[in-house]
Amino acid sequence: MKKLQISIRVNGEDQDLLVAPNRTLTEILREDLGLTGTKQGCGEGECGSCMVLLDGAPVNSCLVLAVQVDGHEVTTIEGVADGNELHPVQQAFVDQGAVQCGFCTPGMVLSAKALLEKKKRPTAHEIRSALSGNLCRCTGYQKIVEAVQSAARNMNRAGR
Amino acid sequence: MLLPKFDFDRPTSITEVCEILDEYGNSAQLLAGGTDVLVNLKRKRIAPERVVGIHRVSELGGLSTDRNEIRVGSLMTATEISENRTIARQIPFLGRAAAGLGSPPIRNRATIGGNLVTARPAADLIPPLMVLDAAVSLTSKNGTREIPVTRFVTGPGTTKIKDDEVLTHVIIPRNEAGTGGAYIKFGARHSCEISIVSVAAFVSLTPAGRRIASAKIALGAVAPKVMRCAHAEEALAGQYPGDKAFAIAGKAAARAARPISDFRGSAKYRRQMVDVLTRRALSAACKAARDDIAGRTK
Amino acid sequence: MPKKFAVLGTRAPKLDAPDKVTGRAKYTEDLNLPGQLYGAILQSPHAHALITRIDVSRARRLRGVKAVITAKEVGLTKYGVSPARYDETLFAHEKVRYVGDEIAAVAAVDLATALEALELIQIDYEELPAVLDVEAALRSGAPQLHADYPNNIGAEVHQEFGDYEAALGECDYVRTDRLLSKRQDAAFIEPHACIAEFDNTGHLTLHTSTQTPHYVQRTVAMVTGVPVGKVRVIKPHVGGGFGPKAEATPLEMSACFLSMKTGCPVKMAYTREQVFLHSRARHQFYHEMTTGVKKDGTIHALHHRAVLDGGAYSSFGIATVYYAGSLLGGPYKLPNMKYDGMRVYTNKPACGAQRGHGGVAARACFEQQLDIIAAEIGIDPVDLRLKNIMQAGDVTCNELDMSSLGMRECIEAVRDGSGWDKKKGKLPKGKGIGMACGFFVSGAAYPIYRSDTYHSTVIIRVAEDGGSVTAFTGSADIGQGSDTMVAMIVAEALGIPLSDVRVASGDTDYSMDLGAYSSRQTLMTGHAAKEAAEDVKQQVLAVVSEELGVPVERLDVKSGRVKVRGKKPDIEAVRMRYIKEHRGWDDMPKGNELTFREAARLATLAKGSIVGNGKYKPPRLGGKHKGAAVGTSPAYGCSAQIVEVSVDLETGQVTVDAMTDAHDCGQIVNRTSVEGQMQGSLSMGLGEALLEEVKFDDEGRIVNASLGEYKIPTSLDMPRVKSIIIESNEPNGPFGAKEVGEGAIMPTIPAILNAVADATGVRMHELPLTAERVYTAMNEAKKKGR
């Protein structure tokens, strides 16, 4: 099995890697780049805990081959905050109690961030719809939805 | 879950894809969005020697239209289809079907080509494409051919595509005024679902909207492949678009369905739901057609 | 009105939330140890078979394989959850009892090699007939799973309180109802994972995704032979537990043995499919209840028969079958209760404890039955509950003491909060409203193994400069927020700001704690934390008293300051001493009161380490009858819910439109966390009511072992929930606090059942309420002319 040279921009940094074609993006991020914020809950694209933003769009990284994202941009949960300053979505998750066990949290934050970049004032239904590929067993989703609403308000106020 | 070993190609043109397929035939597996192929690889359902990533073949992307048809590139994702303005204007129910496929992250990767070639009985894009009389365009080193979607799918997971062919685009004929469609997906949850039953309906009304000129019905998840319902469609031709006609069509569609009992639902219940959902889909399609006549959509 | 508490009752953000939202929080699979190997387990493909030959030689020879272990290498020490039912060995010895039963494990340089090695292990099986349901298992002549348990009956319970037969004669109205629920899965999003490291001094360290480091430590020690004192279990962040992670797993024990054999750390995890195969989750329950009431609605007698399908091993099952019965003793007055319960072995993965344990399905059956009775005798269901509820101080017929019980307040809150009076009986066909109640223990009164041990201990160490304290606790934060609870209780009891409290938890080296199960930690770990904090305060103030010449009774700590009742002493000398020690620092203490920081520093200078100790165990509780222990608790949380549904009358699809939920947690520690537990419980209850069922084929293989086909609610399946918290001030709880983690799930399924009946006019007696099941029931009712 021939390894391939790829170049991915991960959280703003170019990564040049020599990878076997049968490595998923989840594996590369977690094992090769040490970015363990991306989780693996099922490996089959059914839970959303492996979610990353691929060119800004939420995808299940467990169903993406690393070699498919050569030349593309990937944002993981580690790329959301600005240094130690939390993104408004992250801050809202903390403030609104949207985090219990936290395993779905990275995926939820990324889904929410992508949504708010597309829609400044999403309705509750639109929020639930955007998050409908991220399973959560702890919260019942309510405080997550409230956090996204709160983040949207804060971001609109701050003119982001 | 680990992936098996394979070599990987990254062609950038249709020609290149065809060359690879010509050389490797059935030991090569095309890979677009990966939402089905990667699952099949992880579950050891397939074990190709080579995986051919076609995501760089820009000729396979995008949507173009002319007076006669809409051509949808096979790499167009479910999200792109659900957000495309041309589709929203001309055939919004296809966009809505795409919007209900899987879940948002799946939609961002799943392609129309993949949905067609994977040909699951419960595939979400096939029923709307069937009632739109869409066709697929297949290209190999030896040339190009077009097959109507109704003939393209041959069984659960099988199609007429040959080992050396790639599905390049889907052709959807333009529709006249007075047409409308609907797609109903019925599952247990409101996201992340493989349908228990799905129904697509497309009707064409007479110019004043008083009669059904023609109707097309496709059923998903109730047969080895997505199926059209000739009897139900015939029963609707010339009828007044109302509950009476829908009820007759619903019963005919239920009779025509060939569901099995599996862990998602029993055959009996699926048949009963074909009746209910066909009526509802026809009602919604007729409403869309009437709105079309009233000029509200175009 | 002055606030009752400085810290409790607030919405303090959870301590671990910032790490979790940034991806910094480490779960077990995120950890790596240098030189680690990867392990994998070989599992039986057959539901029931003899093993006639195991040959691992080819696997051992595969390049990269460092160890292969079977029963031959690890021995046959029996283990389980309850010592009364140690009925499993790590690896199958002569027979396998379910598809997934563990036979061998491999450690190799990478996972791919380990998996390849599994394929090279040769096993000869002689298939046996399997029993895949309770009827088959109980049939005479059925294949027996365990020699010690004839007729495949793993546990049988027969209890009677009062005199059922006599009481029945005193009833005006009697009816019998049934409910069949299904095997379910906890479906936590993080699969089990662990890393075991056996070092070269004979110490075993196990990092694992567990709810109960203490029980895992003990089981691992017992099975591996490593002394308990040399086994350390560390729980990193855990992505949900809900019950199945409250016992030692074959994954953990395999990793330990492999590390012992190889001398290397061994990392192992379950795939999602293996999580389903391991299970230890919700049993399947069949309940039959005959209830007698007086004509005014007074509940008088109950005969409850339950049959549990428990799978191939006991796990928590003996507690489960007892809980199924005992948790109907409340929250209504019920003077006569007879219970006959049975847990049956079948050739399927073992079932264990899952949120609400054995009480959930039984509560569903009973609360639906009460609704039916209410309708038949012409009383509003809410009024029927209000008429029968116990009061604080009442004791159930099976000797469970309701030391606090805000049941009335919960019922009235949901009645008013949902608009029940405006809706009940006034909704159009296809829309329905239903209510139910429930309650649950705040920790089991007895540990799982017979012992007088304390259930929780907490050690608080004061930082030398006095600026902060760290609470060390073996308790397990699995997402519910127990670390934050400990910090808040410590801050409250000690009188210092929450930001000055750190918590180190989930490590058996820190303190002994039974862990997160039975909703025990707020009450029990909370008590120990409170006591430890008070101990610290007392030690510090003793030194301050001596130094300032003020009697200690006049001293207290509040808001991080030493408060003096009466004549204020001169604190200059103490302050100067502190400032002199901190030349170069900016933030020197000011004001005319000594800060806790200065006081604690003073105490450290006087005494060396200031360490506070706290401990808790419940008093002797409950009756003397067999199984009395199960259900006893120092306190009971209780809950009422009203649910509104729409039912598509043509398809049977049920949609939950609104949920109003009231829970009595005694005293709120963290308001946001209490709401979070309520809302999460409701979502699991909704899933179990409408969507969830583990399904098997006729070879005993799970057919829906994935999160796509085992359906937990998505964000589009959950409605908005109105959460109302009731505080009844539990005398046995720290600051009045008691549970919320499991009591809140109890009313959900029956509230939905009652709402669906209201919407359709049809009663459902089997879960889950899939569209097909509801549709079929409506059709049958139509045919019968109802």
Prediction pTM value: 0.98
B99-124 pLDDT per residue, tens: 999 999 999 999 999 999 999 999 99
Nearest CA in chain C to A23: C112
C590 pLDDT tier (thresholds 50, 70, 90): very high
Chain B partners within 8 Å of A51 (Cβ): 105
Helix ranges (DSSP H) in B53-108: 78-83, 85-90, 92-99, 104-107
Determine the Cα–Cα distance for residues C336 and C163; give it in Å rounded to an integer.
Answer: 6
Same domain, B154 and B249: no
List all chains that touch chain C, counting a touch as 3 or more CB pairs closer than 8 Å.
A, B
Radius of gyration of chain B (CA): 19
Q: Tell me B296's DSSP state.
A: S
Angstroms from A48 CA to nearest CA on chain C: 9
pLDDT of C677 over the 70 cut? yes
- Stretch C587-609: mean pLDDT, rounded? 95
CATH number for B149: 3.30.465.10
Neighbours of C624 (CB within 10 A): 6
The β-bridge partners of C37 are C266
pLDDT (0 to 100) of residue C2 = 64
Same domain, B234 and B154: no
Domain of residue B16: give its range.
Answer: 7-53
Chain C partners within 8 Å of B273 (Cβ): 651
Which two structure tokens, joined as six digits, stand for B46? 């397939």
B62 falls within a domain? yes
CATH number for B287: 3.30.390.50
Same domain, B28 and B134: no
Same domain, B184 and B277: yes
SS3 C135: helix
B67 shares contact with chain A (CB less than 8 Å): no
Determine the Cα–Cα distance for residues C197 and C36; give it in Å rounded to an integer.
Answer: 9
Q: What is the share, in percent, of chain B residues with pLDDT greater than 90?
A: 97
C443-461 pLDDT per residue, tens: 999 999 999 999 999 999 9
The β-bridge partners of C662 are C640, C724
List all chains that touch chain A, counting a touch as 3 or more CB pairs closer than 8 Å.
B, C
| C-alpha torsion angle, residues C525, C527, C530, C534 (rounded to 10) | -130
A6-23 pLDDT per residue, tens: 999 999 999 999 999 999
Average pLDDT, chain A: 97
B138 falls within a domain? yes
Determine the Cα–Cα distance for residues B30 and B168; give it in Å rounded to an integer.
Answer: 12
B62, exposed or middle or buried, with CB in 10 Å at 0-12, 13-18, 19+? middle
Nearest CA in chain C to A134: C714
pLDDT (0 to 100) of residue C786 = 61
Which has more confidence, B148 or C466?
B148
Element (H, E) at B39: helix B37-42
- Stretch A71-80: mean pLDDT, rounded? 98
Q: A4-79 — its CATH code?
A: 3.10.20.30
Q: How far, CA to CA in Å, does B26 sit from each of B49, B177, C123, C484?
A: 9, 44, 34, 57
B29 shares contact with chain A (CB less than 8 Å): no
Neighbours of C20 (CB within 10 A): 29
B61 shares contact with chain A (CB less than 8 Å): no
Asked whether the beta carbons of C87 and C148 are under 8 A apart, the reply is yes
CB-CB under 8 Å, C188 with A103: yes
What is the number of alpha carbons within 13 Å of residue C355 lying toward its C-beta? 32
Helix axes A88-96, A142-157, angle to 10 degrees: 140
- Stretch A23-31: mean pLDDT, rounded? 98
Phi, psi dihedral angles at C362 (to 5 degrees): -60, -45
Radius of gyration of chain A (CA): 16
| Domain stop point among B145, B173, B201 | B173
| Closest Cβ opposite residue C22 in set A49, A90, A138 | A90
Q: Which CATH code of 1.10.150.120, 1.25.40.20, 3.30.70.890, 3.10.150.10 fits the domain covering A88-157?
A: 1.10.150.120
pLDDT of C226 over the 50 cut? yes
C323-345 pLDDT per residue, tens: 999 999 999 999 999 999 999 99
Asked whether the beta carbons of C640 and C420 are under 8 A apart, the reply is no
Give the distance, in angstroms, between the CA of residue A13 and the centroid of all CA atoms in the same chain. 17
Chain A partners within 8 Å of C22 (Cβ): 37, 77-78, 80-81, 86, 90
| Closest Cβ opposite residue B191 in set C115, C714, C776 | C714
ipTM of the complex: 0.98
Q: Which chain B residues have any C-beta within 8 angstroms of a chain C C-beta?
A: 1-2, 103, 186, 188-192, 194, 196, 263-266, 269, 272-273, 276-277
B298 falls within a domain? no
Same domain, B156 and B186: no
Asked whether the beta carbons of C670 and C12 are under 8 A apart, the reply is yes
B201-227 pLDDT per residue, tens: 999 999 888 999 999 999 999 999 999
Asked whether the beta carbons of A39 and B10 are under 8 A apart, the reply is no
B2 falls within a domain? no
Determine the Cα–Cα distance for residues A86 and A107; give it in Å rounded to an integer.
Answer: 16
Number of structural domains (chain B) is 3
Which two structure tokens, joined as six digits, stand for C27? 């779960």
Determine the Cα–Cα distance for residues A91 and A95; give it in Å rounded to an integer.
Answer: 6
DSSP string, C539-601: HHHHHHHHHHT--GGGEEEETTEEEESSSPP--HHHHHHHHHHTTT-S----SSS-BHHHHHH
Determine the Cα–Cα distance for residues C362 and C306; give it in Å rounded to an integer.
Answer: 8
Determine the Cα–Cα distance for residues C47 and C312; give it in Å rounded to an integer.
Answer: 9
3-state secondary structure A10-53: ECCEEEEEEECCCCEHHHHHHHHCCCCCCCCCCCCCCCCCCEEE
Which two structure tokens, joined as six digits, stand for B135? 């066709």
Q: Which CATH code of 3.30.365.10, 3.50.50.60, 1.10.3720.10, 3.40.50.150 fits the domain covering C17-23+454-616?
A: 3.30.365.10
In the block, tokens 């809410």 appear at C382
Average pLDDT, chain C: 97
pLDDT of B297 over the 50 cut? no
Task: Give the CA angle between residues B279, B90, B119 to the nearest 5°.
Answer: 65
Chain A from 121 to 150: CB within 8 A of any C CB: 124, 127-129, 131-145
Q: Tell me C117's DSSP state.
A: H
User: Where are the domains positioned within chain A?
Assistant: 4-79, 88-157
A89-105 pLDDT per residue, tens: 999 999 999 999 999 99
CB-CB under 8 Å, B51 with A59: no
C342-358 pLDDT per residue, tens: 999 999 999 999 999 99
Determine the Cα–Cα distance for residues C410 and C405; give it in Å rounded to an integer.
Answer: 9
> What is the biggest distance separating any 2 CA atoms in chain C, rounded to whole angstroms?
91
CATH number for B49: 3.30.43.10
Task: Select from B225, B235, B221 the least CA-distant residue to B274.
Answer: B221
Q: Which CATH code of 3.90.1170.50, 3.30.565.10, 3.40.50.720, 3.40.50.2020 fits the domain covering C31-128+189-240+245-278?
A: 3.90.1170.50
Angstroms from B193 CA to nearest CA on chain C: 7
B1 falls within a domain? no
Determine the Cα–Cα distance for residues C39 and C277; give it in Å rounded to an integer.
Answer: 17
Q: Classify the C-alpha dihedral C143-C145-C146-C151 as positive or negative.
A: negative
Segments of chain C assigned to CATH 3.30.365.10: 17-23+454-616, 368-446+632-783
pLDDT of C712 over the 70 cut? yes
B102 shares contact with chain A (CB less than 8 Å): yes
- Stretch C767-776: mean pLDDT, rounded? 98
Q: C368-446+632-783 — its CATH code?
A: 3.30.365.10
Segments of chain C assigned to CATH 3.90.1170.50: 31-128+189-240+245-278
The β-bridge partners of B158 are B155
What is the number of alpha carbons within 13 Å of residue A6 lying toward its C-beta? 26
| Domain stop point among B122, B146, B173 | B173
The strand ranges marked E within C375-478 are 431-441, 456-462, 469-473
Q: What is the share, in percent, of chain C residues with pLDDT greater than 70?
A: 100
| Closest Cβ opposite residue B266 in set C111, C695, C772 | C772
